[in-house]
Structure formats: C-alpha cells, structure tokens
Structure 1
Amino acid sequence: MGTADPVATTATAADHLWRLGELLRTRGLHVRVGATAGGVPQLIVISMTVPTLSEVIFAARGGDHWWFWWSWAERIAPVTDTQAAVALVCDALRPRRSDR
C-alpha cells in the first residue's frame, strides 16, 4: 500500500470543509476555512447571534472513509452525510438560556 500524497490529502480536506462551510453559511452561521499553524485545513464556525459560541471542525480520514471531526477528535459525521453534519453543528451552536 502506498503513502497518501499529503498535498492531495490537504486539498481533499479543504474541499470537504468548503462544502460544509457553504451549507452552514446558508443556516446563518459565520464560517471561515483556514489552516492550523501546521497547515492542517480547518473550518471555524461562529454563531452570529452569540459570537462566543464557536467550533473548529476538521475533515480527515478515519479508517477507510472521510469524516468531519470536532476539534477534540470526535467524529461528527461522514463527509458523505453533510446534512447530518450541518444538523449537529447547528445544534452545538444553538444558544441556550445560559449562553445569553
């Protein structure tokens, strides 16, 4: 088995994050695709109603599939299920009474 091309892997991760970011933007969230200091693509998602609510999301392979991941290395959803990812991210950034 060959080693994955790191440039192609980075580009694939960024593409998945851009796609998710566009869907989250249509839900009224502020999104920005960037990179960590180490060059790993990341999606920063911020609530427009409560800007202190934010999440950092990554896209990476987990086993044989690509997944969206929370910053604490927990899977969100497969990249093929963007609607599930959107629902979970929106729920995480939904203001609760204590957030206001």
Structure 2
Amino acid sequence: MATADKVMSAATAADHLRRLGDLLRARGLHVRVGETRGGVPQLIVVSTSVPTLSEVIFAARAEESWWFWWAWAERIAPVDDPQTAATHVCQALRPAPRHDR
C-alpha cells in the first residue's frame, strides 16, 4: 500500500473510531482515540463503574467494507452500524453479576 493510501486509511479509521467513541461516551464510558506504536488508530474504552474493565477497538477494511474490530482480530460490527458496535462494547464492559453467599 502506498504511503498516501496508508495515511488516508488511517484517517478514515480514526474518523470511524471517533464516531463510535462519541456513542460510547454518551453511554457513560471513558473513551480515547489514540494510536498504537505503529501508528494504527485505536479506540481505548474504559468502564466508568469498574475501571479495570477496558477494551481496545480498531477500525479496518475487510474485503470491500469497513468494520470495527476487537483487539484479538474478531469483527464487532460494520462501521455503518455503530449503534450495534456500541451495544456489543457496552456488553463486554458490563461487570459480571456477583453471587454473594
């Protein structure tokens, strides 16, 4: 991929991540768009109720469309459906129910 294409792709990914971040922030999560050491845009999402619960989200092309991805390279949802992606991220950051005895 040419350098200009990489820059354009990174800018597109960051735009998608900012849009998802806005939805997650509205749902009460802490979010920050940053970059990996290699310059790949990433969205860091942290639970406000349990700060040890966090996720890193990426946006990248798969075949001919863009997707949100978990850090372990599993698709979350297409970028044109950020509401579904936000719901999945919120579910992942929900604390497990306590079973006190």
Deviations 1:26-85 (A, max 9, x none): 000000000000000000000000000000000000110000000000000000001110
Partner residue, 2:97? 97
Partner residue, 1:31? 31
Task: Give yes or no for the alignment of 1:76 onto 2:76.
Answer: yes
Q: Report the TM-score, using the length of structure 2 for normalisation.
A: 0.92
Task: Give yes or no for the alignment of 1:16 onto 2:16.
Answer: yes
Displacement of 1:96: 1.1
Partner residue, 1:55? 55
How far, CA to CA, are the matches of 1:85 and 1:97 in structure 2?
A: 22
Alpha-carbon RMSD across the aligned residues, in angstroms, is 1.3
Runs of 5+ consecutive residues of structure 2 not aligned to the other structure: none
Which of 1 and 2 has greater Rg?
A: 2
Give the AA of the match of 1:9. Answer: S
Q: Number of aligned pairs?
A: 97
Secondary structure in 2 matching 1:28 = coil
Q: Report the TM-score, using the length of structure 1 for normalisation.
A: 0.93
Runs of 5+ consecutive residues of structure 1 not aligned to the other structure: none
Give the AA of the match of 2:60. Answer: A
Secondary structure in 2 matching 1:58 = strand
Displacement of 1:97: 2.5
